């Protein structure tokens, strides 16, 4: 069993054990309705973690994802409130397009101008968050200002499952196909493993980075609409600090910050693990401050495990040179 598969198996078992332990304390937590709500609550984090993974495997990071989500969500809410007859598909496309454009700005600065990802996305994080306030004037868009079909879509059920879960499943399937069966995905891992070699063999690094960040922005834009519709409110502090939760889900899922390593299943399990913690601690009446502390401890443990695995991950691919004793 490889290191990644062993990590994923351990993480999956940890999620099951955690659910069962909380269920022993509060049986309502393991009821079908509660578990369904848990799955629905995890969907936005799962989707954002999957596209953040595409960025992290290139040795990058997108700190602007939550600000992008807030700006796209606010624009979607303002658009729907002012033009209530507008088809929902048009509003969703508008949010996704805004997110894509914001993500491509990051990708252009990082891919074509070769600026450090953490510096670029830290800057755009502040810019995008400021634009939320500028465009909204600091005002809220509440549920009574939004059309009913705008609010209802995320939690509407298809075959007994909410649209949020169906969308997250489709995103996970698409991410799996991209990473396992597309040249684009293989190139992202190659860039993360050895940037110099990737450039030498002709991988178009600037274009690949442009679209890696573009996809991260596209998902943030879509999640912006889903977030404001799910909670029926849009305000300037939407998803404040959520970018760190997204990155934490990736780290816990085994996606290496050093680049070149990580799987779709790991990102999904990391997001589910954080969602279980977030839903379980209030049930057992644990303070939100302890929730942050426990999440931080889990992240540190995951980083230590990643570092240890990285030290033992090298392999000898050529035999060591030894003198020919027959000629001595």
Measured between its terminal Cα atoms, the distance across the chain in Å is 43
CA angle 86, 91, 93 (to 5 degrees): 130
Checking if the pLDDT of 60 tops 90, the result is yes
For 266-298, write each residue's pLDDT tens digit.
999 999 999 988 888 777 777 767 767 777 777
Tally Cβ neighbours within 10 Å of residue 183: 11
**Better-predicted residue by pLDDT, 319 or 74:** 74
How high is the pLDDT of residue 306?
Answer: 65
Q: Which two tokens stand for residue 265?
A: 């299943």
CB 270 within 8 A of CB 254: yes
Q: Which two tokens stand for residue 43?
A: 């969907």
Half-sphere exposure of 136 (CA within 13 A, CB side): 27
How high is the pLDDT of residue 320?
Answer: 41
Q: Which of 44-48, 216-220, 303-307, 312-316 has the lowest mean pLDDT?
A: 312-316
**3-state DSSP call for residue 161?**
strand
How high is the pLDDT of residue 272?
Answer: 93
Distances (CA, A) of 214 to 30, 116, 161: 38, 16, 29
Positive or negative: CA dihedral 266, 297, 67, 108: negative
Checking if the pLDDT of 94 tops 70, the result is yes
Share of the chain above pLDDT 70, in %: 90
For residue 266, the Cα-to-chain-centroid distance in whole angstroms is 11
Q: Which two tokens stand for residue 82?
A: 């002012």
3-state helix, strand, coil in the chain (%, to 5): 75, 0, 25
Q: Which of 3-12, 51-60, 143-152, 211-220 has the lowest mean pLDDT?
A: 3-12
**Better-predicted residue by pLDDT, 129 or 328:** 129
In 3D space, the residue among 236, 220, 58 whose CA is nearest the CA of residue 141 turns out to be: 236
> CA–CA separation, 287 vs 308, rounded Å?
32
> CA–CA separation, 212 vs 56, rounded Å?
9
Residues 170/171/173/175 CA torsion (nearest 10 deg):
160
For 203-257, write each residue's pLDDT tens digit.
899 999 999 999 999 999 999 999 999 999 999 889 998 999 999 999 988 898 8
Tally Cβ neighbours within 10 Å of residue 211: 20
Residues 22/25/31/36 CA torsion (nearest 10 deg):
-30
């Amino acid at each position: 069993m490889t290191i990644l598969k062993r990590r994923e198996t351990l993480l999956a078992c940890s999620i099951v054990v955690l659910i069962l332990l909380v269920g022993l304390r509060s049986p309502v937590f393991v009821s079908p309705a509660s578990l369904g709500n848990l799955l629905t609550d995890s969907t936005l984090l799962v989707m954002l973690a999957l596209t953040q993974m595409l960025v992290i495997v290139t040795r990058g990071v997108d700190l602007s994802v939550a600000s992008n989500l807030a700006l796209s969500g606010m624009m979607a809410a303002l658009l729907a409130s002012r033009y209530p007859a507008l088809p929902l598909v048009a509003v969703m496309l508008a949010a996704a397009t805004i997110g894509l454009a914001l993500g491509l700005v990051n990708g252009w600065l990082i891919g074509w101008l070769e600026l450090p990802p953490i510096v670029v996305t830290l800057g755009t994080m502040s810019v995008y968050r400021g634009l939320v306030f500028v465009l909204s004037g600091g005002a809220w868009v509440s549920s009574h200002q939004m059309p009913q079909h705008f609010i209802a879509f995320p939690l509407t059920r298809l075959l007994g499952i909410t649209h949020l879960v169906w969308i997250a499943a489709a995103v996970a399937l698409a991410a799996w196909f991209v990473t396992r069966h597309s040249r684009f995905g293989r190139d992202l891992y190659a860039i993360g493993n050895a940037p110099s070699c990737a450039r030498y063999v002709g991988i178009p690094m600037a274009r690949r980075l442009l679209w890696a960040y573009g996809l991260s922005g596209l998902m943030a834009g879509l999640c912006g609409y889903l977030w404001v519709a799910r909670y029926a409110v849009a305000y300037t502090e939407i998803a404040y600090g959520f970018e760190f939760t997204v990155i934490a889900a990736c780290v816990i899922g085994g996606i290496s910050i050093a680049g070149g390593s990580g799987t779709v299943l790991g990102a999904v399990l990391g997001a589910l693990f954080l969602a279980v913690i977030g839903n379980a601690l209030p049930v057992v009446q644990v303070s939100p401050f302890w929730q942050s502390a426990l999440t931080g401890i889990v992240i540190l443990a995951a980083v230590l495990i990643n570092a240890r695995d990285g030290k033992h991950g090298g392999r000898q691919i050529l035999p060591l040179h030894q003198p020919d004793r027959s000629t001595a």
